[in-house]
Structure 1
């Protein structure tokens, strides 16, 4: 029995299913545009063998290990590193067996489909992964990882990736991106400017990070204008390494547009100990507007990812650090929060601000009406917990009538798990084709338009939105 149903995610109605299948076949082999994600550029710079199946599928993927943790499996048992270098499981086969024995936890989740796609389409597995097949899986995947066809660059080409964006912090030296360029490899891997560590006063080591920003750029970060000039220099450095976008993971979408003297005074406050929660939030708000102004100047696309209550469990954060599956969605306001930024630059025709959300209640009430009015705004695809068939369907149903298709930014996979990239794009393409077939079946779209829109959602919108 195959791991994947060839008609997965298509409508049940036979005529709609036939059209969805035809739409999908028209876009199935289009190149992958992956404009936002967290793959490690070192993979492509060194093109070394992936170490083992556990380090490819389990240890870097918080979608995977958070589900096991929710059932009482310690992160240490899954090999997730500790901040203090404390003991964790180091036997990859033991980690794999534990992962395999808990496969039932993923039933009907997006992870189950992503994993099945990678196991079947990349590694040729035909039997389900479970405790009984764990060693056979491990041995086959591990043996295949020895082959040149399974090195990072070969998989990049096999997956049909036209461009892959990684995400680096403002202080990163981008040496791996330089190594990629110097290698002569033709695969296109670009960086993205993520300045959270030097714009968020609640980020650990914020003041020291700002000092390092000044040292890297030679700007006087003792002044507000010097601090802004330092950001401009770093943005230029990132653009030299292929960046076309910035990314901002703020707790909220709040923006501000303070007079210069007030912004300067606030800047000096947040660099000192004892900054209040309101002062920190106001500074982040001001910096979103400043970053938007810089995007008007230099043409970089701006992504705002608000609404995650990050590092929700203090103990997990202390032991294992950021991005360990304990970022939880919360209610998010956009209409009032974005007003200062939109008053300042929202009508700029050459500015693109891509909005993401973890609060689905805002789709019809706030996000679609905003994107349906402001030239600068585009809606990012369902993100994180809603990067799924049902999440994509709800997104399309809620925003299309108000914002249309062309105020959205296509799809991005936002992943650290390299082998899930084609799987996630496969789900997105199937989900969109199923939705388009329903529109045709109910007389809201003609069939020829559906084929054109399918191509746009799969390829053109992301490429254009991110200026790739």
Structure 2
């Protein structure tokens, strides 16, 4: 069986030897620093219950859309990979793992390969390259490790050095797992909930009335009126903040903002509760509610993050069978400058307001996001996200954003993952790429090495802490 040789100590560092030496020193200064993960999707109950992971497939394949979407593109049925929440039995899990290993060549050149190799090598201590021949041996070795206390979720969080881990949570969530973790003196990682109200702001949804009724029950507020609806959202935001939340997350197809007259907002809301709001009315209401979210942020201090520009559930048959987040969300173009002007006119210089802009449309990094972050004290350029959290895209981001906005107007790295074991690999990728970028500035005599060293450390410590008010 062939060993993995791509896990070189200098991976992702510059090819030029002189610049590489500088990058080595910069990376060495950050490699062992704690991980701050202020936006992600790891289920908090994994840590609260500290239950052993079941098998390699349910841990590394079934929940990771980066992995299973590429296998699906190779013709592997999603049902054979345990996608959609129905667990596979041991035979099915082993078969899915074999399919993954047999298709290892599909990951060549991808960021997923970098992360998966790091997980296999650094987390499990394995050296064999995945293949048809090595599949069973790898499966057995990982399964044996997962049965030990050292591979329970809490032990891994401590081993990985995760100081902050943000989850993404429904506004009606009880946050019982977050409360249990916060009250546990034996668990050091800070697990922060993130308020994700998207579906409660979309009146075009067929279940909008049921959703806002549930919101009202969670807040103990009558949501039959627009005023009650706003009060319920405000109440739940306060609840999240009281349980350690620092940010809200909004992922709509665009970030257009506008302000409706209160009477007009009430009229559309009332129609939406009966399912009679038009598409135009529903869109206007959602855009108005982004303004309301910003207004609430100025009052409660939660950081507002925008993740727009995704065509969700592009393949309807897959969505119908397997549900959302099953690998077929596709990026679309998005515009920020005109879309956010109403919001920034009102709140862009408001004391305490912070807005982090993420995108899947690389064309706006230098054209819109960097200039906005380079003027408004409230705006931060979010790190490359989702399809863009990959080596080449991260390099392009640094070049596109830094010359206009600098380093301190960025968010710090965002791993945005459900794949718990890949978190250290993703952050290491970012630290290596930042070391390489800073080393190039030093080699070109655009930055002194002591400044580069200071910046490398800040990019994983004070910069994300400031952006997310940690």
TM-score by length of 2: 0.96
Separation in structure 2 between the aligned mates of residue 444 and residue 203 of structure 1, nearest angstrom: 52
Question: Is 1:161 the counterpart of 2:145 in the alignment?
Answer: no
Inter-CA distance 322–166: structure 2 relative to 1 (3 Å threshold): same
In the other structure, the counterpart of 1:207 is: 209
Q: 2:138 is matched with which residue?
A: 137
The structure 2 residue matched to 1:44, chosen from 44, 47, 57, is 47
Quick one: which of 327, 332, 335 aligns to 2:334? 332
Task: Provide the secondary structure at the position in 1 that maps to 2:415.
Answer: coil
Which string of whole-angstrom CA distances, capped at 9 and with x for unpartnered residues, describes residues 239-264 of structure 1?
Answer: 12210111011111111122222222
For 2:276 and 2:221, the matched residues in 1 are separated by 25
CA distance in 2 between partners of 1:347 and 1:49 (Å): 47
| SS state at 2:32 partner | coil
Match of 1:21 among 20, 24, 29: 24
2:398 matches 1:396: yes
Question: Secondary structure, in 3 states, of the residue corresponding to 2:380?
Answer: strand
Following superposition, the deviation at residue 275 of structure 1 comes to 2.9
State whether residues 206 and 275 of structure 2, in contact with CA within 8 Å, keep that contact through their aligned partners in structure 1: no
The reply on whether 1:53 has 2:56 as its aligned counterpart is: yes
Give the Å deviation of 1:104.
Answer: 0.6
Given the alignment of the two structures, is residue 269 of structure 1 paired with residue 267 of structure 2, yes or no? no
**Aligned to 1:449, what secondary structure does the other structure show?**
helix
**1:377 & 1:67 partners in 2: Cα distance?**
34
| SS of residue in 2 equivalent to 1:169 | coil
Cα separation, 2, equivalents of 1:402 and 1:264:
42
Once residues 466 and 14 of structure 2 are traced to their aligned partners in structure 1, the CA distance between those partners, rounded to angstroms, is 30
CA distances 1:409-450 after superposition (whole Å, capped 9, x unpaired)? 111100000001000001000111111111111222111111
Q: Secondary structure at 1:338's aligned position in 2?
A: helix
Change (3 A) 1:128 1:204: farther
After TM superposition, give the deviation of residue 196 of structure 1 in Å. 1.2
2:427 maps to what in 1? 425
Alignment of 1:191-340 (within 5 A): 191-203=193-205, 205-340=207-342
- Tell me what 1:6 maps to: 9
Q: Per-residue deviation at 1:183? A: 4.0
Matched, 1:33 2:36: yes
Instruction: Assess, with a 3 A threshold, how the Cα gap between structure 1 residues 452 and 87 changes in structure 2: closer, same or farther.
Output: closer
Secondary structure (helix, strand or coil) at the match of 1:64 reads: helix
Mark the runs of 5 or more structure 1 residues left unpaired by the alignment. Answer: none
Runs (4+) off by over 3 Å: 85-90, 181-185
Q: Which residue of 1 aligns with 2:96?
A: 95
Q: In 1, Cα distance between the equivalents of 2:279 and 2:444?
A: 50
Instruction: Choose which of 64, 75, 78 in structure 2 pairs with 1:75.
Output: 78
Residue deviations 1:339-373 (CA, integer Å, cap 9, x gap): 11111101113111101000000111111111111
Greater alpha carbon shift after TM alignment, 258-267 vs 122-131:
258-267
Match of 1:460 in 2: 462
1:366 partner SS: helix
Q: Are the equivalent residues in 1 in contact too, given 2:216–2:223 (CA < 8 A)?
A: yes
Matches of 2:60 and 2:87, distance apart in 1: 22
Q: 1:123 to 1:89 in 2, by over 3 A?
A: closer
Task: Using the TM superposition, name which of 121-130 and 198-207 deviates more.
Answer: 198-207
Contact kept? 1:55, 1:92, Cα under 8 Å: yes
Identify the residue that residue 367 of structure 2 maps to in structure 1.
Answer: 365
Contact 1:76 1:88 in 2 (8 A): no
Change (3 A) 1:117 1:463: same
CA contact (8 A) 1:255 1:289 kept: yes
8 A contact 1:410–1:462 mirrored in 2: yes
- CA separation in 1, counterparts of 2:191 and 2:87? 34
Cα 1:86/1:459, change in 2 over 3 Å: closer
Equivalents in 1 of 2:442, 2:274: separation in Å?
Answer: 59
Change (3 A) 1:253 1:134: same
SS at match of 1:163: strand
> 1:3 & 1:438 partners in 2: Cα distance?
23
Distance 1:155 1:202 in 2: 42
Q: For 1:89 and 1:253, how far apart are their aligned partners in 2?
A: 44
Match in the other structure for 1:345: 347
In the alignment, the residues of structure 2 paired with residue 86 and residue 163 of structure 1 have an alpha-carbon distance, to the nearest angstrom, of 29
1:372-451 to 2 correspondences below 5 Å: 372-451=374-453
Would the alpha carbon gap of residues 204 and 97 (structure 1) be closer, same or farther in structure 2, given more than 3 Å must change? farther
Paired residue secondary structure (1:91): helix
Deviates more, 1:204-213 or 1:47-56: 204-213
